[in-house]
Amino acid sequence: MAHSDTPITDTQRELIPHVLTNRPVAYWRRSCLDIVFPDRWLPYFMNKYRSGFRAILKKLSDFRLVLVFTPVTIGLTIAFVLVACVIGSRSFGSTPVTGTPVVDTGNGVGRLPFMGYNTWNAYYCNINETLIQETAGYMKLLGLLDVGYNYMNIDDCYSEKKRSPSGDIVASKEKFPSGMRALTDRLHTMGFKTGIYSDSGWFTCQLYPGSYMNEDRDIKLFREDWGFDLLKYDNCAVPYDEVIKEGMVGKFTRMSKAIKRQSERSGKPPILFSLCQWGRQQPWLWAKQLGQTWRTTDDIGRRELAFSYEHHKQARNSFIASVSDFYGHNDMDILEIGNGDLTYEEAKSHFTAWALMKSPLLISTDLSKITEQTLSILKNKEIIAINQDPVVGTSITPFRWGVNPDWTSNRTHPAVFWSGQSQNGTVFMLLNVLDAPADLSFTLVESPWMRAGRQYSVRDLWTHTDNGTAVRNFTARAVPPHGVVALLMRDAGDEPEGTMPPCAIEEWCMGEDGTKVDPHIN
């Protein structure tokens, strides 16, 4: 497949003002009761029970139910629905249905890794409301919102250096003259959710006001007054021990409790809480009790060093990848795709690792200069589908390190062979961590998710092609330096009869009569 480095066109840029003034309408279901009958029963049922049926409709108009009537079960179904309505009214109120119900830990916030845009890697402190609105316009125009990047997150440096006389954080009058509420209202109208930044210490990392000892005040400001949906919460300006008298868990717990109080007081879902603790004190062990995502490493680093930092992050996260699941995600930091000197193959590896390890996916590059090649990476729907899998929340994990012995921590040569589950099959990621092309081979049942004695269809998630069937083994040929192969394998039935040897992995392989296959067994 050819990839173009051509930036977006002037015609596309001219569309930005129209995108910014767009006012999409949200259509909510007005009638929540759908009735399905066999055709031959509908006239009889409606004529015989018309008055009673209208009364039921009136009583059930606030509930989201789909009733399916069959000739055999009409009576039972009506009774069941009436009971379900009473229970449902107590459990769900009249919130509109937006999809298939899922098992929820309480509020639905942060079930899947969030996707969107963050200002930091692209612009650092050089932000303002015009830039953010234009960036949101590009997100819509380029189709990034359509594939799931629905958060617009403002990082550090958005406020004045001092709080107001009443104690509130004040948005910079120069950078955000219209105010934060006007900005979030506009972004929400465009179809985005919005994120804001603060710090668990006295100050942010750029020495703007932090939230320590102002947690309740600040979360009310962020959530209710300014209308933000996500809070990135950093780890700078830590108070003296004699002041804080808390460990790292306690420091972040302060804001977590404030978020819970604000949610209970307002009666609305809590803000999504994204902890930025840099992995110093193993947040993967405790942060899920407080929020929905947690940083596992330092910042991704300067752009020219991005790929070495990616390997470092992959090496670190290979030991903790199994922690990620619904409502709790290891955060590997903002994407560097579109920045610095990453090659096309390196950018693909970067995106694949972040997505398949179920990290949040945050773009942070100048979208007015983005190339079609970079967009093709960020908009890979098959890779995104794994990250956003509604059925399987767990990350891929390594099953063989490759270059190094298994369980080796090496920041330049992380694990090569990874696999994990998905709703549609087993996912594989093969990383070439070398500086030259390499063949990458593995036995299927090295992955714990594959079944012995079966063959598997092979889907390439980057070429978007179906590549035949794998039996026992698979080899990816000539994977480019620092490149990646991403595969989805589906069970295709029994392997061909007579496939030898009897076991794909010979260790302790033995016949029912005691015949030894493993040559190492005495």
The answer to whether 446 and 399 have CB atoms below 8 angstroms apart is: yes
The answer to whether 252 and 238 have CB atoms below 8 angstroms apart is: no
For residue range 423-436, list pLDDT tens digits in order: 999 999 999 999 99
Q: What pTM does this model have?
A: 0.82
Active-site entry in 155, 199, 234, 389: 234
Q: What is the dihedral of CA 39, 41, 43, 46, to 10 degrees?
A: -120
Q: If DSSP codes are grouped into helix, strand and coil, which group holds residue 436?
A: coil
Would you place residue 83 in the very low, low, confident or very high pLDDT band (cuts 50, 70, 90)? very low
Q: Above 60 in pLDDT, residue 97?
A: no
Q: Above 60 in pLDDT, residue 53?
A: no
Q: What is the dihedral of CA 210, 174, 150, 227, to 10 degrees?
A: 60
In angstroms, how far is the first alpha carbon of the chain from the final one? 52
CA distance 419 to 400: 10
What mean pLDDT comes out for the span 126-148?
Answer: 98
Q: Above 90 in pLDDT, residue 251?
A: yes
What mean pLDDT comes out for the span 258-277?
Answer: 97
The answer to whether 230 and 196 have CB atoms below 8 angstroms apart is: yes
Interhelix angle 306-317/344-356, rounded to 10 degrees, is 30
Instruction: Name the nearest CA neighbour of 155 among 2, 314, 299.
Output: 299
The answer to whether 337 and 350 have CB atoms below 8 angstroms apart is: yes
Q: What is residue 28's predicted lDDT score, i.e. its pLDDT? A: 35
Strands 193-199 and 230-234: parallel
CA distance 338 to 129: 22
Would you place residue 81 in the very low, low, confident or very high pLDDT band (cuts 50, 70, 90)? very low
For residue range 269-287, list pLDDT tens digits in order: 999 999 999 999 999 999 9
Q: What is residue 107's predicted lDDT score, i.e. its pLDDT? A: 76
* Mean pLDDT score across all residues of the chain: 85
Q: Is 299 designated active site?
A: yes
Name the DSSP letter for residue 399: E
Neighbour count for residue 28 (Cβ, 10 Å): 9
Peptide bond into 501 cis (omega under 30): yes
Interhelix angle 74-92/50-60, rounded to 10 degrees, is 20
Q: What is the dihedral of CA 58, 64, 69, 75, to 10 degrees?
A: -60
Place of tokens 């506009």: 186
CA distance 98 to 90: 19
Q: Above 90 in pLDDT, residue 201?
A: yes
Q: What is residue 412's predicted lDDT score, i.e. its pLDDT? A: 86
Name the phi and psi angles at 40, rounded to 5: -70, -15
Q: Above 80 in pLDDT, residue 170?
A: yes
CA distance 454 to 127: 55
The answer to whether 264 and 224 have CB atoms below 8 angstroms apart is: no
Q: What is residue 99's predicted lDDT score, i.e. its pLDDT? A: 30
Q: Above 70 in pLDDT, residue 32?
A: no
Q: What is residue 520's predicted lDDT score, i.e. its pLDDT? A: 83
What mean pLDDT comes out for the span 506-515?
Answer: 94
Q: Is 331 designated active site?
A: no
Helix (H) / strand (E) element for 83: namely helix 74-92
Helix (H) / strand (E) element for 122: namely helix 120-123
Active-site entry in 185, 298, 299, 460: 299
| Three-class HEC string of 313-336 | HHHHHCCCHHHCECCEEEECCCCC
Q: What is residue 77's predicted lDDT score, i.e. its pLDDT? A: 53
Q: Which of 26-40, 104-118, 356-370, 439-453 has the lowest mean pLDDT?
A: 26-40
Q: What is residue 76's predicted lDDT score, i.e. its pLDDT? A: 59
Q: What is residue 313's predicted lDDT score, i.e. its pLDDT? A: 75
Q: Which of 22-36, 313-327, 377-391 has the lowest mean pLDDT?
A: 22-36
CA distance 120 to 301: 12
